[in-house]
Amino acid sequence: MSSEASLSRLHINNVRNLHRVRLDQLKRVNVFHGANGSGKTSILESIHLLGMARSFRGGAKALITHGEQDCTVFGALAPGNTTLGVQRSRSGDVKIKVAGAPVRTVAELVEYLPLQVINADSFDLLTGSPGARRQYLDWGVFHVEHRFFEQWQRFQRSIKQRNKLLRRDKMPTDDLPVWTRELARSGEALSKYREAYFKLLTPRFKAIMSQLAPSLTGLELRFRRGWDKSLDFQGALDNSLAVDLEQGYTHVGPQRADVRIQIDGHLASETLSRGQQKLVVCGLKLAQGQLMSEADRGRCTYLVDDLPSELDGEHSALVCKLLASMKASVFITCVHQRDIEAVWPEQDLSETAMFHVEHGSVSQP
Ligand SMILES: Nc1ncnc2c1ncn2[C@@H]1O[C@H](COP(=O)(O)OP(=O)(O)OP(=O)(O)O)[C@@H](O)[C@H]1O
Ligand SMILES: [Mg+2]
């Protein structure tokens, strides 16, 4: 299925300081403004919980209002009115419902409400470990190429098995070549999906960056698949067998893939200013949203926490202009209403709902 356009209703119970919030009149763009500690990020977190069954900050228990046993979020999607519901309890239980019926896995939930988060942690995309960039890339492949998930699962299963064998035996066993072949096949397929997606992503990213930061002409994305370019994956695994046996794990493969983000041949994370880094992060996330809608996979919903931090007015306005022109569904936080009014395109303000957040309560003027 392709995801529907946007969240039209959101009910929150017991997420941090949000005891009971009912939002039945959401628009395409929703702005939550309020003082520090009022509950703005918790609203975005609740949407993340609804779409992914987990928070984007801290563990699940920290999310539940102190003194309560569980938290729940409920949402309806427009235009089809599919409902989603997620409940997490202190005991660790997770209950997920789609259209009123329980679903067993998070994977069955995540395709309904594809989410992109832009917050202070998003800098990890540039400054963090390759894992953050693999996760970014795989999010995109997952939402555009639905056969990807099956390969990803096959790959995870085979690398786990192979590493188990490598840890247990210092000498090759009969099982090892079997699992190595399975790993080679699934890893090769997984990597092909990533590469194909990356090829589509790069030109979109460049086009977006030429609007967001035209002076950064030397920006370059490079995909590293995780093993020697001159070999197929089976060949690379054969070459590293001795080291793998010695150290007890698989050294080469898609689990080591990375996206290098460079400017004029230098790492972007070591060269760009904080504001420039934030623009690159926005560019990367906007490119994925654009690609998704072009691939007719629906639109993704952007959760933007405190957009103005690190960005000057001109650049905040450019990010908002792009979000507005993509017709993306957006949930955005700021301290003062005027912070967003000053930067959001005026002609788009009619599709914008303003909410004031105060001590865990949300009101509309
Ligand atoms: N488990 C919890 N139970 C109850 N309250 C909590 C819990 N976790 C956090 N809080 C409180 O919830 C409130 C809302 O936090 P939140 O991060 O959403 O605020 P915010 O409006 O985003 O603030 P800021 O502008 O500082 O980013 C804070 O006052 C915080 O102390
Ligand atoms: Mg906050």
Is any ligand 1 atom within 6 A of the Cβ of residue 17?
yes
Which amino acid would we find at residue 276? Q
Residue 138 contacts residue 155 (beta carbons within 8 Å): no
107 is written with which tokens? Answer: 């994977």
| Residue 40 in marked binding region | yes
Residue ranges per domain, the chain?
Answer: 1-114+298-365, 124-296
345 is written with which tokens? Answer: 């395109």
2 is written with which tokens? Answer: 């392709």
The rounded Cα 229 to chain-centroid distance in angstroms is 28
Residue 42 contacts residue 362 (beta carbons within 8 Å): no
Q: Write down the residue that tokens 């009910």 correspond to.
A: 11
| Residue 38 in marked binding region | yes
Is any ligand 1 atom within 6 A of the Cβ of residue 271?
no
Average pLDDT across the chain, whole number: 94
Nearest ligand, measured from the Cα of 37 = 1
| Residue 41 in marked binding region | yes
Residue 60 has pLDDT above 90, yes or no: no
User: What mean pLDDT comes out for the span 4-8?
Assistant: 81
Is any ligand 1 atom within 6 A of the Cβ of residue 65?
yes
pLDDT tens profile 220-267:
999 999 999 999 999 999 999 999 999 999 999 999 999 999 999 999
Pocket probe for ligand 1: among 14, 15, 17, the residue whose CB has the most ligand atoms within 8 Å is 17
Residue 148 CA to residue 44 CA, distance in Å, equals 28
Q: Which residues pair with 23 in a beta bridge?
A: 10
In the chain, % of residues over pLDDT 90: 87
- Cα dihedral sign for 170, 174, 178, 181? positive
Residue range 124-296 forms a domain whose CATH class is mainly alpha
The rounded Cα 49 to chain-centroid distance in angstroms is 13
| Residue 37 in marked binding region | yes
**10 Å Cβ neighbour count for 222?**
11
Q: Write down the residue that tokens 């007719």 correspond to.
A: 296
CA of 314 to the centre of ligand 1 (A): 29
CA of 259 to the centre of ligand 2 (A): 29
131 is written with which tokens? Answer: 């894992």
Inter-residue long-range contacts of 153-160, CB under 8 Å, 24+ positions, other chains counted: 154/182, 154/186, 154/189, 155/183, 155/186, 155/187, 155/189, 155/190, 155/254, 158/182, 158/183, 158/186, 158/187, 159/183, 159/187, 159/250, 159/253, 159/255
pLDDT, position 308: 87
Q: Which atom of ligand 1 is nearest to the CA of 45?
A: 18
Is any ligand 1 atom within 6 A of the Cβ of residue 40?
yes
pLDDT, position 4: 54
Is any ligand 1 atom within 6 A of the Cβ of residue 34?
yes
pLDDT tens profile 15-49:
999 999 999 999 999 999 999 999 999 999 999 99
pLDDT, position 173: 79
> What per-residue string of b and e applies to 321-360 under the rule 16 or more CB within 10 Å gives b?
bbbbebebbbbbbbbebebbeebbeeebeeebebbbbeeb
Is any ligand 1 atom within 6 A of the Cβ of residue 67?
no
80 is written with which tokens? Answer: 């089809």
Residue 106 has pLDDT above 70, yes or no: yes
Residue 330 CA to residue 1 CA, distance in Å, equals 22
Pocket probe for ligand 1: among 40, 71, 88, the residue whose CB has the most ligand atoms within 8 Å is 40
Q: Which atom of ligand 1 is nearest to the CA of 34?
A: 21
pLDDT band at 3; cut points 50, 70, 90: low
Which amino acid would we find at residue 308? P
pLDDT, position 1: 45
Phi/psi of residue 214, nearest 5 degrees: -60, -20
The residue whose CA is least distant from atom 3 of ligand 1 is 65
In the chain, % of residues over pLDDT 70: 98
Find the largest Cα–Cα distance for the chain.
71
Assign 63 to helix, strand or coil.
helix
pLDDT tens profile 120-169:
999 999 999 999 999 999 999 999 998 999 999 999 999 999 999 999 87
**10 Å Cβ neighbour count for 215?**
7
| 3-class secondary structure per residue, 189-235 | HHHHHHHHHHHHHHHHHHHHHHHHCCCCCCEEEEEECCCCCCCCHHH
Is any ligand 1 atom within 6 A of the Cβ of residue 41?
yes
pLDDT band at 12; cut points 50, 70, 90: very high
Q: What is the CATH number of domain 1-114+298-365?
A: 3.40.50.300
Q: Write down the residue that tokens 């370019």 correspond to.
A: 229
CA of 82 to the centre of ligand 2 (A): 29
The residue whose CA is least distant from atom 8 of ligand 1 is 16
Fold agreement (1-114+298-365, 124-296): no
Is any ligand 1 atom within 6 A of the Cβ of residue 66?
yes
117 to each of 55, 186, 187, 281, 333, how far by Cα in Å? 11, 29, 28, 10, 12
To the nearest 10°, report the CA torsion of 291, 294, 298, 302.
Answer: 40
Nearest ligand, measured from the Cα of 12 = 1
The residue whose CA is least distant from atom 31 of ligand 1 is 37
In this structure, which residues have their CB less than 5 angstroms from ion ligand 2?
A: 41
